[in-house]
Chain A
Amino acid sequence: MHIPDGYLGPQTYAVLDAAIIPIWVIAAKKVKKTLKTKQIPLLALGAAFSFVIMMFNVPVVGGSTGHAVGATLIAIILGPWAACISVSVALVIQALVFGDGGITAIGANCINMAVVIPFVGYYLYRLLAGDVPSATRRMISAGVASYVAIVSAAICAGFEFGIQPAIAHTASGQALYAPYPLGVAVPSMALEHMLFFGWVEAFVTMGVVAALTKSEPALLQMRPAAKPLRWLWGALGALIMLTPIGVLASGTAWGEWDSAQMKARIGYTPHGFDRLGGLWKAIMPDYSTPGMGNAAVGYLIAAVVGVIIVVALAWGVGAVLAKRREAKAVPPESVPSG
């Protein structure tokens, strides 16, 4: 997932290089508060571990091997902010000492691998594992969280690649930097990680968490989580507030045309379209609230309703699964030894 130099135009890499700096500053402040004078050796060793994990060959199938990033694992052990710094330091050293990965692209790489992966991975892990997880639940939560985290990061990288042709092209429309549009870049990055690298990551994360649960469970002890999750809800709230921006977009997304638009585009309406088009009458068609005059407010209400439904479903499924797993008579965690 390391982005080399030359693929991202200055509009992109400069923005990302600038964006990572305040994140580093905040991370440094947070880490100084928790780790105090021990921060230098702990972060340095975290960085060394992060670097080395990226170099471990993980056998996949036949003779092929893959590599893991391990940022979710580090976030689980050291916390997301310390993981952000450790992984960033590893990436910087990769670029400046080993010549691996670009120098102008350091901002982009750090955002993908040192911000997206640790934070998505950590908070998803906390959400899935709960407060006092059994060994199995802990392992599976770690695996799922690391899988989702790395796929998210891959999508971000795909996004960074994919917007290049739109941002920077010659007068004749030819791309100046990474040449593949969003429609190609994002799916290929996502699929590559969903089908291959995601599994390597999940396997390594689960394997190490399982090994640590046996030999040194104290390392996996949970940190108090009250504040961070509240922050997540806040972020979700902010996102909901921003949804009416969608009303500004004109035209219809690719592939989401209705019968009339199909006819206008290609001259006729395909047979299946006619038959199945009106089958399902949505309660809130086109993200609007029936009866509401103001489209923006209607959008907002639709967003809130949608989020409530999704969260409720996820919560319900999670609760059922958790009860089932707990009931499988896995013994509670013993006092950590050693």
Chain B
Amino acid sequence: MSSEDFRLQHVRHEYPPGIAALCDIDLVVGCGEHVAIVGANGSGKSTLLKMLDGLLFPSSGSITAFGAPLTEEALEDPAFRRAFRSRVGFVFQEADVQLFCSDAFDELAFGPLQLGLGQEEVKCRVNEVARQLRIEQLLDRPPYTLSGGEKKRVAIASVLTMQPQVLLLDEPSNALDPRSQVWLLDVLQAWKSEGRTVVIATHDLSVAVEAADRIVVLSEEHTIAADASPDAVLAQRELLLSVNLIHEHAHRHAAFVHRHAHVHGG
């Protein structure tokens, strides 16, 4: 079994009328790594993440997942699809998109049921994950009665019941109140110790630095501008400026002009 979870080679993607989304991406994600893909809005982070989940396929280039090619044809095979979908979980940017069942219990049960598990085992998994994420009291509530943070928990839980080995999160800290953001970082830490692979797409450098042990920077030209440890990436100020992840800010202290770069929080 390879220690690589994903390998992307020369991946390019264009949306139909010729709008470039990704240009010549070469990326390897190893087993158990926590990678943050950072870039300004529009740089192609979400597109890249969806490709890792087999929701989008590159216009040219190749993607392999767990050693096997990840293509539209491959996913048509029911056995491959079931194996892939249960191994890779995707948490969408907007929880609302992901909560489409009539109550939280059904939401958590959806994935396992689709995988063909029996009713008893599904109930077991649902209760277990609900206990882990402390959402037992939310289980019989319809999604429109939940707050933003609660919805995020239910969304993450609905993916966890499939017991994925890889978790892809698209802008997970968006629209989360501070307490929920802290909770999210705790969850990511727990996954780290469980050996799960995590790929986060975010435009928030502070989240990336806290959550990942490797940062991949996407430029506004949709190419990889950097791929290194958080410290190494943070040190390259010019680079970060050029990809529009930080900006320079100048203000005066009497006769003295103070320039510094900073990031706006998520």
Contacts and interface: CB of A to CB of B under 8 A. Distances in A.
Interface of A: 41, 44, 335-338
Contacts of A337: 17
Nearest to A41: B100
The B interface is mostly helix, strand or loop, or mixed, namely loop
Interface in B76-104: 100
A44 B97 CA distance: 13
Interface string B8-26: 0000000001000000000
A338 B18 CA distance: 10
A93 to B, nearest CB: 12
Contacts of A338: 17
A197 B6 CA distance: 58
Nearest to B15: A338
Across the A-B interface, the 3 shortest Cβ-Cβ residue pairs: A337-B17, A338-B17, A41-B100
A38 B73 CA distance: 18
6 contacts: A41-B100, A44-B100, A335-B17, A336-B17, A337-B17, A338-B17
Contacts of A41: 100
Contacts of A335: 17
Nearest to A40: B100
A175 to B, nearest CB: 42
A184 B25 CA distance: 71
A337 B15 CA distance: 11
A46 to B, nearest CB: 15
B95 to A, nearest CB: 16
A338 B100 CA distance: 27
B175 to A, nearest CB: 21
Contacts of B100: 41, 44
Interface in B105-123: none
A66 to B, nearest CB: 28
A337 B18 CA distance: 10
A41 B97 CA distance: 10
B98 to A, nearest CB: 12
B55 to A, nearest CB: 13
A337 B17 CA distance: 7
A23 to B, nearest CB: 26
A124 B117 CA distance: 49
B94 to A, nearest CB: 14
Nearest to B18: A337
A138 to B, nearest CB: 21
Interface in B42-60: none
Contacts of A44: 100
A336 B100 CA distance: 31
Contacts of B17: 335-338
Nearest to A335: B17
A37 B100 CA distance: 15
Nearest to A44: B100
A327 to B, nearest CB: 31
A44 B100 CA distance: 10
B80 to A, nearest CB: 17
Nearest to B17: A337
A337 B16 CA distance: 9
A41 B17 CA distance: 25
